Amino acid sequence: MRQSTAMRLGSRFLLYIAIALGVLAICALLVAIAIYTGHTRRLPVGWFGLVGFTPLIFWTVIKSLRRCWKRAGFWFAVAALLALHLLAFVATLLRYPQWPLLWFVPVSMVEAGLFVMILGKLFNDTDGTRA
């Protein structure tokens, strides 16, 4: 096996581990919020929407900007957008606990498109093509 292929497999494996750890961190955050707010009996459906749609949004964004994966700044920008996304939705779900699950669909579509546009502008290729 060539070294470049091994490096690609290794980096892809690390990416999958990072995504899995991110999802586990989100779940742990939701459990902590549920315990803190006393919603241990019944967690509002919006929190399940956050757990389900967050990986979907960021999978779409990361997959569409594959050419940027080798840039460290790209991953820092993705992490910053993830933190912003989580802060906004945690604040929203704490304020409006009955946020309907269906509302995640259009919001997630707009959010994913916006994130791809922002990251595409930030990490534009040097030859003038989009990332």
Q: For residue 43, what pLDDT is reported?
A: 67
Q: Is there a domain that residue 92 lies in?
A: yes
Q: At residue 94, does pLDDT exceed 70? A: yes
Q: Is 115 exposed, middle or buried (0-12, 13-18, 19+ CB in 10 A)?
A: buried
Q: Is there a domain that residue 77 lies in?
A: yes
Q: Report the number of distinct structural domains present in the chain.
A: 1
Which of 39-43, 66-70, 113-117 comes out lowest in average pLDDT? 39-43
From CA 131, how far away is CA 123, in angstroms rounded? 6
Query: For helices 72-95 and 3-37, what crossing angle results, to 10°?
Result: 20
Q: Is there a domain that residue 31 lies in?
A: yes
Q: For residue 131, what pLDDT is reported?
A: 45
Q: For residue 84, what pLDDT is reported?
A: 93
Q: Is there a domain that residue 127 lies in?
A: no
For all residues of the chain together, what is the average pLDDT? 82
Q: For residue 41, what pLDDT is reported?
A: 65
Contacts of 50 (CB under 8 A, 6+ apart): 26, 30, 86, 89, 90, 93, 104
Higher pLDDT, 16 or 1: 16
Domain housing 14:
3-122
Q: Is there a domain that residue 129 lies in?
A: no
The tokens of 5 are what?
A: 């292929």
Q: For residue 40, what pLDDT is reported?
A: 60
Percent of the chain at pLDDT exceeding 70: 87
From CA 57, how far away is CA 26, in angstroms rounded? 14
Q: Is there a domain that residue 101 lies in?
A: yes
| Helix, strand, coil fractions of the chain, as percent rounded to 5 | 80, 0, 20
